[in-house]
Amino acid sequence: MVETLEEFMRSVSAAIDPIFAQTGQILPMYHIVAPIGETVIPAPPVDDKDVAVQLIRLLLEKVEASRVCFVDEAWTVTRKGTADDLEQMRQMAPPSEQSDRKEIVMFSVEDIAKGELLGYRDIIREPGQRPRLGELVIHERVTMSVGRMVGLLPRPAGARVQ
């Protein structure tokens, strides 16, 4: 039976628990589902993010991937505003430079037929303790998703991204 996007994300999230518990970090990784079976790529093929994403896109096309979950550590901030505030928010410093940032492990799932789903787990760092991950939080609705890691899967000829 094919997992829902949420089930898929939860299984990938559970799979990183022992890695994070042992190392205290998560390197970028891709969990790819293709007709030939499941493949895990533990890290991008090169350090240059733009080149890495080009290589991953080629791999996804070559294996005819139908689903992928990209996992990486990230900084995030939460901002609320009106549509008029959107341009001002785009001009803000990146999350890594903001004082109220939060450190997370993010999960970005894409599926050819079922769309996309985003989620995250807080990275909890307490003095004198090993870092640990918080509970998985899944975003039910994506307002806006942009960046080099969005739209990784090859689209069928004639398909439009909305």
pLDDT digits (tens, 9 = 90+) for 89-129: 777 777 777 777 899 999 999 988 888 899 999 999 999 99
Q: Give the pTM.
A: 0.80
- Asked if residue 117 is part of any domain, the answer here is yes
- Asked if residue 160 is part of any domain, the answer here is no
The structure tokens 């390197």 sit at: 27
Closest C-alpha among 36, 40, 34 to residue 111: 34
Position 61 confidence tier, pLDDT thresholds 50, 70, 90: confident
Segment (H or E) for 139? strand 137-139
According to the model, what pLDDT value does residue 153 have?
A: 67
- Asked if residue 148 is part of any domain, the answer here is no
By the 8 A CB rule, do 104 and 132 touch? no
The CA angle 81-146-7, to the nearest 5 degrees, is 95
Number of independent structural domains in the chain: 1
- Asked if residue 71 is part of any domain, the answer here is yes
- Asked if residue 63 is part of any domain, the answer here is yes
- Asked if residue 102 is part of any domain, the answer here is yes
- Asked if residue 146 is part of any domain, the answer here is no
Q: Span 118-147, mean pLDDT? A: 84
pLDDT digits (tens, 9 = 90+) for 66-77: 899 999 999 887
